[in-house]
A and B are shown apart, each in its own frame.
Chain A
Amino acid sequence: MFLFILKRLAQIVPVILGVTLVVFLIMQMVPGDSAVILAGEGASKETVEELRENLGLNKPLHEQYLSYIGNVFQGDFGNSLKNNQPVLDEILIRLPITMELAFFSILITIVLGLIAGIISAIRPYSFSDIGVMVVALLGISLPSFWLGLLLMYVFSIKLQWLPVAGWDSAAHIILPAITLGAGGAAIVARMTRSSMLEVVGQDYVRTARAKGLKEHVIIYKHALRNALIPVITVVGLQFGSLLGGTVLVESVFAINGIGRMIVDAIRTRDIPMVQGGVLIASLVFVFVNLLVDIMYRVFNKRIDLN
């Protein structure tokens, strides 16, 4: 197991480097000169030149890249072009917020999705099954930002049960988390259902029944444990689109997370911010994937021996 973790970590390193390279190169493609923007309107040519020297913009590309990586490892993501404050500071403020949102959303995805999927699978083709599956189909079809707006309209504006935007109290988390988690819940529900249906037809479930085990033991102890295995993979995959989805949901609900930070930075052409935000988000994603992978192995020791 330890060896496996080591091996995977080794595999991740080139990917991380690749990500930094892509982020770096893409930012190079942004038209406009950082120095000019930073110097501001009406700055003299000398000031701009000086700034360029300071920022190292005159060095060849690969040198710039290397110094960029070097800085990143030391925690220096450069300074925002808007206010010349370290990007890292902003990230550190916003990252926990996004992580909170992501956490509650995944909770909804898993809990709602599993419950819905199990309800469906226990009585296939019944009203509850069809009902759940129809809702799940809607869940994967509705744009998250539209769902967010709708929920906001119904619950915050018309019914006034929940606050409209912001991130100050527990009540603020509810609508965004539901919005973000709904799509994933739908996918998990569908996956759980099909996995359960397949498992329930297996020989070992028949054996369990032939032993006279009670129905709920058969479902939860024997069937579900096997059915859940592919679902774990799906949940892992969902985390990616969830993280990406924070961009939209944070914008709808005016939440000060990393997603919104990146979007605002793109609009204002604040390159270091965009770089920093995308890089951090990707790093988080890569490490979460690794964690999910390890968890999957733990649940599924059989693969190790193969």
Chain B
Amino acid sequence: MTVNASLVVDTAELLLARRQVRSEKRKAFFSAIGQNKAAVVGGIIILLYISMTFLAPILAPYDPYEINLKDKLQSPSVDHWMGTDDKGRDILSRILYGSRLSLGVGFSSVFFGASIGIILGLVAGYYGKWIDTIISRCLDVMLAFPGILLALAIISALGPSLINVTVAVGVFSIPLFARIVRGSTMEVKQLEYIDAIRTLGANDFIIIFRHIFPNILSPIIVQGTMRLATAILSAAGLSFLGLGAQPPSPEWGAMLSSGRDFIFSAPYMAIFPGLMISILVLGFNLFGDGLRDALDPRMKK
């Protein structure tokens, strides 16, 4: 097909202008985030936790798995800043190593769920009609399971382990991302410049990934951050129920579970892991709130 030369030039200018606008937007975005104190605090918390995962071997004073029955159930002291658990293991060290598990599960499950969810959402939103109907119905079914029940069902099939928790939490994150992406895709699809790109001969694949996707990133990022918080909570919850990390793993949810049995005598066994989870989730929530304000104040709804 013949391509109108002026249309090509116009579109090229458009793309160039877009790139400039994007870099300006990026600068504005970072300054907006920087100004939001809560977001900065949240970001710092997250960074601290991430560095904890790397620095655990250096920071931990003891081996998290080393059993030392004569030292068991000691209150926090100079030797053991967070005390010891019922098998004499140093709680602080276990907490430090446990960060790897909690954050690892959080990030991988969200990554997994988001990838699948985004693809499903893009396809459903872009192609519409019966593909959309099928995918939407499937999402409806997934959303019909209240809360973590879907994850529970999956774990019951796969068996209790941290990896299965990751899969389960990932799967139960899919509908959220799919819904958002679907909605945004349908909005962006209507924009005129998509038609312009199409007349230039771009095929569906290029349109979806190079043109629609970058435009719908902001809600995905905000939801992703919030979802990380939920995923970490869910994973900890599942481990707490004994369906995730198995002993002697220092995963925080599992630690809470054992701590529960000793709540009378050694409450600190339960307090510290829960505290660590709470602060991390708080960090994600603060940061996510700030992100949302910076990217689009309208999204507060």
Q: Do A and B bind each other?
A: yes
Residues of A within 8 A of B (CB): 14-16, 18-19, 21-23, 26-27, 29-31, 137-138, 140-146, 149-150, 152-153, 157, 194, 230, 239-245, 247-248, 251-252, 262-263, 265-267, 269, 271, 274, 278, 281-282, 284-286
Task: Judge whether A149 and B270 touch: CB under 8 Å.
Answer: yes
Task: Judge whether A247 and B144 touch: CB under 8 Å.
Answer: no
Shortest distance from the beta carbon of B123 to any chain A beta carbon, whole Å: 19
Closest to A144 in B: B237
Task: Judge whether B149 and A157 touch: CB under 8 Å.
Answer: no
CA distance A18 to B144 in the complex (A): 9
Shortest distance from the beta carbon of B260 to any chain A beta carbon, whole Å: 6
Task: Judge whether A282 and B237 touch: CB under 8 Å.
Answer: no
Determine the chain B residues whose CB is within 8 A of the CB of A18 once the complex forms. 137-138, 140-141, 144
**Residue B35 at the A interface, CB < 8 A?**
no
A contacts with B: majority SS: helix
**Residue B147 at the A interface, CB < 8 A?**
yes
- 0/1 string, B123-140, CB within 8 A of A gives 1: 000000000000001101
Contact-residue bracket for chain B: 35 or more
Query: Which one, B146, B236, B264, B271, contacts A285 given CB within 8 A?
Result: B146
Task: Judge whether A23 and B153 touch: CB under 8 Å.
Answer: yes
Which B147-200 residues have C-beta < 8 A from chain A?
147-149, 152-160
Task: Judge whether A282 and B159 touch: CB under 8 Å.
Answer: no
Query: Which one, B147, B157, B243, B301, contacts A241 given CB within 8 A?
Result: B147
Q: A157-B263, A248-B237 are in contact. Are A15 and B243 (CB under 8 A)?
A: no
Q: A23-B153, A29-B157, A141-B285 are in contact. Are A240 and B263 (CB under 8 A)?
A: no
Determine the chain A residues whose CB is within 8 A of the CB of B270 once the complex forms. 146, 149, 153
Q: A245-B147, A278-B149 are in contact. Are A141 and B282 (CB under 8 A)?
A: yes
Q: A143-B277, A146-B256 are in contact. Are A248 and B241 (CB under 8 A)?
A: yes
CA distance A242 to B146 in the complex (A): 8
Task: Judge whether B146 and A29 touch: CB under 8 Å.
Answer: no
Determine the chain A residues whose CB is within 8 A of the CB of B300 once the complex forms. 194
Task: Judge whether B277 and A27 touch: CB under 8 Å.
Answer: no
A sample of 17 cross-chain residue pairs with beta-carbon separation below 8 angstroms, ordered by A number, consists of A26-B157, A137-B282, A137-B286, A141-B281, A143-B253, A143-B274, A240-B146, A240-B147, A243-B147, A247-B147, A248-B241, A265-B156, A266-B160, A274-B153, A282-B144, A285-B146, A286-B144
Task: Judge whether A242 and B147 touch: CB under 8 Å.
Answer: yes
Determine the chain B residues whose CB is within 8 A of the CB of A144 once the complex forms. 237
**Residue B116 at the A interface, CB < 8 A?**
no
Task: Judge whether A143 and B237 touch: CB under 8 Å.
Answer: yes
Determine the chain B residues whose CB is within 8 A of the CB of A239 once the complex forms. 146
CA distance A244 to B238 in the complex (A): 11
Task: Judge whether B285 and A152 touch: CB under 8 Å.
Answer: no
Task: Judge whether B274 and A29 touch: CB under 8 Å.
Answer: no
Query: Which one, A16, A150, A269, A278, contacts B153 given CB within 8 A?
Result: A278
Determine the chain A residues whose CB is within 8 A of the CB of B60 once the complex forms. none
Number of cross-chain contacts by CB at 8 Å: 149
Determine the chain B residues whose CB is within 8 A of the CB of A142 once the complex forms. 274, 278, 281
Q: A243-B147, A278-B149, A282-B145 are in contact. Are A149 and B260 (CB under 8 A)?
A: yes
Determine the chain B residues whose CB is within 8 A of the CB of A278 once the complex forms. 145, 149, 152-153
Q: A141-B229, A143-B277 are in contact. Are A30 and B157 (CB under 8 A)?
A: yes
Which B5-48 residues have C-beta < 8 A from chain A?
none
Q: A14-B137, A282-B145 are in contact. Are A140 and B278 (CB under 8 A)?
A: no
Task: Judge whether A145 and B256 touch: CB under 8 Å.
Answer: yes
Task: Judge whether A153 and B267 touch: CB under 8 Å.
Answer: yes
Task: Judge whether A31 and B145 touch: CB under 8 Å.
Answer: no
Q: A18-B138, A266-B156 are in contact. Are A282 and B146 (CB under 8 A)?
A: yes
Closest to B142 in A: A22
Determine the chain B residues whose CB is within 8 A of the CB of A252 once the complex forms. 260
Determine the chain B residues whose CB is within 8 A of the CB of A16 once the complex forms. 144
- 0/1 string, B276-298, CB within 8 A of A gives 1: 01110110011000000000000
Determine the chain B residues whose CB is within 8 A of the CB of A274 once the complex forms. 152-153, 156
Q: A152-B263, A244-B147 are in contact. Are A143 and B278 (CB under 8 A)?
A: yes
**Residue B242 at the A interface, CB < 8 A?**
yes
Most buried by A among B145, B233, B271, B300: B145
Task: Judge whether B148 and A247 touch: CB under 8 Å.
Answer: yes
Determine the chain B residues whose CB is within 8 A of the CB of A240 once the complex forms. 143, 146-147
Task: Judge whether A282 and B149 touch: CB under 8 Å.
Answer: yes
Task: Judge whether B277 and A247 touch: CB under 8 Å.
Answer: no
Task: Judge whether A244 and B149 touch: CB under 8 Å.
Answer: yes
Determine the chain A residues whose CB is within 8 A of the CB of B243 once the complex forms. 263, 266-267
Task: Judge whether A22 and B153 touch: CB under 8 Å.
Answer: yes
Task: Judge whether B274 and A149 touch: CB under 8 Å.
Answer: yes
Task: Judge whether A15 and B274 touch: CB under 8 Å.
Answer: no
Closest to B271 in A: A150
Determine the chain A residues whose CB is within 8 A of the CB of B279 once the complex forms. 141
Q: A29-B157, A137-B285, A274-B156 are in contact. Are A15 and B240 (CB under 8 A)?
A: no
Closest to A11 in B: B140
CA distance A241 to B230 in the complex (A): 11
